[in-house]
Amino acid sequence: MTILPLNERAVLAPNPVAKKLFQLIHEKQTNLCVAGDVTRCEELLKLAEEVGSEICLFKTHVDILEDFSFAVVNELKKIAQHHQFFIFEDRKFADIGNTVLQQYEKGIYHIVDWADIVNAHILPGPGIIEGLKKVGLPRQRGLLLLAEMSAFGSLATGSYTEKAIEWANLHQDFVMGFICQRKLSHFPGFIHITPGIQFADKSDFLGQQYNTPESAIAKGSDVLIVGRGIYAAKNPREAAFLYKKAGWQAYTQTI
């Protein structure tokens, strides 16, 4: 199989965020996403500032912030602009279309206002994509489908994963790719993003299973999500640099 360069994949991607993300990865030479799973706004912003130059994506779980206020997302957007990365809220929507569109747009977090990318389970059927798309597409946002998970015993396998690929193909304008553990689609305009990455591939004793950057890229992943491997490191900036280097080197060996 020939792997197209990222700037060519940018041209082929129908979703506007996928297009810009492929181009950014190509230019910034980083396929690293940091998961900022910290619980105070100040820590989140400090981490984003520290790792910003090394990443293409910053992933949030905004509902774990104990002192959330809208100021944090405004600051995060400024840091994203300064260091050039996209913001991915790992909200994992999982309800009917009418409910998820409200969860996406309303409530405390107004996610669609600041997150370039969100993700969704496909358990409720294709209506979840249609609901999110109503709010997200006019705002030029992108959706990742949870086609596989990194956790031990995940039920997102086999025909479930196949359905995610089928529905992604039907909504290429809004669905930009997958959260997965390996290459799922040979359509070069889809991006494959993989959580569960650490240099020491082990488990966390709560079900998380890790791959190394090299093994994830060898399985066809495009972007690697690293949480504790970076934010829990003594020096997150240095750890981000090392993960970026490993991920990018592994990628360049595939083309």
The answer to whether residue 228 forms part of the interface with ligand 5BU (CB under 6 A) is yes
Stretch of 10-18, 102-110, 219-227, 247-255 contacting ligand 5BU, by CB under 6 A = 219-227
The residues, ordered by sequence, that sit 6+ positions from 226 with a Cβ below 8 Å of its Cβ are 32, 33, 34, 35, 197, 198, 239, 240, 243
d(CA 66, CA 158): 37
Among the options 20, 92, 163, 245, which is catalytic?
92
Q: 170: exposed, middle or buried (C-beta count within 10 Å: 0-12, 13-18, 19+)?
A: exposed
Is 242 in contact with 212 (CB distance < 8 Å)? no
d(CA 21, CA 59): 14
Stretch of 67-75, 125-133, 221-229, 242-250 contacting ligand 5BU, by CB under 6 A = 221-229
Among 164, 226, 239, 246, binds ligand 5BU (CB under 6 A): 226
Is 92 catalytic? The answer is: yes
The answer to whether residue 213 forms part of the interface with ligand 5BU (CB under 6 A) is no
At residue 191, what are phi and psi to the nearest 5 degrees?
A: -105, 140
Minimum gap (Å) between residue 62 Cβ and ligand 5BU: 12
User: By the criterion CB under 6 A, which residues form the site for ligand 5BU?
Assistant: 35, 37, 61, 90, 146, 149-151, 179, 195-196, 208, 225-229
User: Catalytic residue positions?
Assistant: 92
